[in-house]
Chain A
Amino acid sequence: MTFNSLGQRLAPWALPVALLAAWQGAVVLGLLSTRILPAPSAVLAAGWELLGSGELWTHLAISGWRAGVGFAIGGGIGLLLGFITGLSTWGERLLDSSVQMIRNVPHLALIPLVILWFGIDESAKVFLVALGTLFPIYLNTYHGIRNVDPALVEMARSYGLSGFALFRQVILPGALPSILVGVRFALGFMWLTLIVAETISASAGIGYLAMNAREFLQTDVVVLAILLYAVLGKLADVAARGLERVWLRWHPAYQAKAGGQ
């Protein structure tokens, strides 16, 4: 019985572990050139070395800072614009079609222009990340507010709620599931934008680490950088899920694990 449950717990890991073992074996036996793909052990060793020298932390910190600041600025503006267009007819009339037009420009296409504007310093990357995260949050905030049940708004008004109280107690919580979907999309765009921006022009950060290693044919460091992006993306997603679990705990769809049913 315990063996069975242990087997079930470990089953999802069987394939990745087997693949890693095959990969390591192929490199050790010389079937796979380290130029193409370094052994997993070499990637680990490279990570350990960079960790020990403190270099990895510097790059992680600078990438994290760019992502965080860009997300805060872009998300904040997106949220604000979404509130304006969602709550007022005039706001929608004035702003929505303009925002939609800008949204349809792929923000990565602006890179040449952004480099001309900001050079290659931090503001260029932060600007690109902000631009990438703005629209998913804007769109979902706007959509979420428009889809708040009008029957609940009518009820709340008949109980004397209006203005900010109505917004805080009815409209914002009603729009929150949609806003959080926007946050998860935005987090995906955040890393994607940062990867591209750091790869093109940077003097620090994980993207710079990868591009610099490429110059010196350090495939182990390149693979390490790719893995780091994967881990950071996963962490951001876990954080967003955590927010959903806390803020949407009233929602039956997010209570699956709480009741044990």
Chain B
Amino acid sequence: MTALHSIRQGIPLAIERIEKSFGERRVLKGIDLHIPAGQFVAVVGRSGCGKSTLLRLLAGLDQPSGGQLLAGSGSLNAVREDIRLMFQDARLLPWKRVIDNVGLGLSGNWRQQAEEALAAVGLGERAHDWPAALSGGQKQRVALARALIHRPHLLLLDEPLGALDALTRIEMQQLIERLWQRHGFTVLLVTHDVSEAVAVADRVILIEDGRIGLDLPIDLPRPRHRGDAHLAVLEAQVLDRVLALPASPPQAQALSPLPTQLRWAL
């Protein structure tokens, strides 16, 4: 095949009047969002605002109650193979060695590619370890390699750095930014960390109570430096907006039914 990594390969995303309800509770109340190909978008918001739900809809793990999701002009479902999701927890299969986790779902001769993907996230020499032997940050890097080996055109990140320590977070942010610059895929990063959002993204979307509350472009040159005054101003702007609204009463996270024929008792 062609050397895909040499061409810009993001997909443009159109989210039109998307709604999602779990029973009586309306989580998303009509989201409209257009994302050009290759853009790095960060979605922020309080917990329970619906940002992870939006990501799960885009990943095809849940179906929207209304509205439509488009990739360019076609349906998003048609390009499902080009979309990869990275979860908040790494979700590595503990019974597969690191390299076999990276090659999950691939057929044919993928080992060479898996080794390259692992090398790209700096874990080339841990290929034959068990996941249990890795630290939290290393597990997330394996999960990133597992997503990248599919050469996704849209990478969905669901708070993948939430559980990492501050230094590992910054390293991971830079790694994701570097890989995004090299491969040119579209990125949607869901995070609760506003400073992370303004540091890595082209654009920050704030979701409040199931609607878009703020759509802020971040027109700062890269590489950006942590502690930069412009970043601080933008961060304050988003935070002011987040804190302006009173916190919604805490609601239990809706347990979405799994898209599976398995029924999990208890």
Contacts and interface: CB of A to CB of B under 8 A. Distances in A.
B105 A89 contact: no
Contacts, number: 72
A151 B91 contact: yes
A251 interface: yes
Interface in A99-133: none
Contact of A160 (B81, B93, B96, B130): B81
B265 A251 contact: no
A176 B96 CA distance: 13
Given A161-B104, A161-B105, A251-B132, A155 B262 contact: no
Contacts of B97: 250
Contacts of A151: 87, 89, 91
A168 to B, nearest CB: 11
Interface string A147-178: 00011111111111100010001110110100
B62 to A, nearest CB: 10
A89 B93 contact: no
Interface string B212-224: 0000000000000
A251 B59 CA distance: 30
A25 to B, nearest CB: 52
Given A154-B259, A159-B104, A251 B61 contact: no
A146 B264 contact: yes
A252 interface: yes
Contacts of A171: 262
29 contacts: A87-B261, A87-B262, A92-B263, A146-B264, A146-B265, A150-B258, A150-B260, A150-B262, A151-B89, A151-B91, A154-B61, A154-B258, A156-B105, A157-B259, A158-B59, A158-B84, A159-B84, A159-B146, A160-B81, A169-B93, A169-B104, A173-B95, A173-B96, A176-B95, A250-B94, A250-B96, A251-B95, A251-B132, A252-B132
Interface of A: 87-89, 92, 145-146, 150-161, 165, 169-171, 173-174, 176, 249-252, 255
A251 B94 contact: yes
Contacts of B260: 150, 153-154, 157
Given A150-B258, A250-B130, A155 B91 contact: yes
B93 A152 contact: yes
Contacts of A169: 93, 96, 104
A249 B95 CA distance: 8
B238 interface: no
A157 B87 CA distance: 13
Interface in B249-266: 258-266
Contacts of B130: 249-250, 255
Given A169-B93, A250-B94, A155 B87 contact: yes
B136 interface: no
Nearest to A156: B104
Nearest to B100: A169
A152 B263 CA distance: 14
B60 interface: yes
Contacts of A251: 94-95, 132
List the 4 closest pairs (A to B, CB-CB), nearest first. Answer: A159-B105, A173-B95, A155-B91, A160-B105
Contacts of A155: 87, 91
Contacts of A249: 130
B56 to A, nearest CB: 10
A130 to B, nearest CB: 27
Contacts of A153: 258, 260, 262
B85 interface: yes
Which of A153, A155, A157, A174 is most buried by chain B, counting CB atoms within 10 A of its CB?
A155
B145 to A, nearest CB: 13
Interface in B95-136: 95-97, 104-105, 130-132
A176 B93 CA distance: 13
Nearest to B91: A155
A151 B104 CA distance: 15
Contact of A250 (B60, B85, B132, B259): B132
B1 to A, nearest CB: 18
A179 to B, nearest CB: 13
A174 B132 CA distance: 14
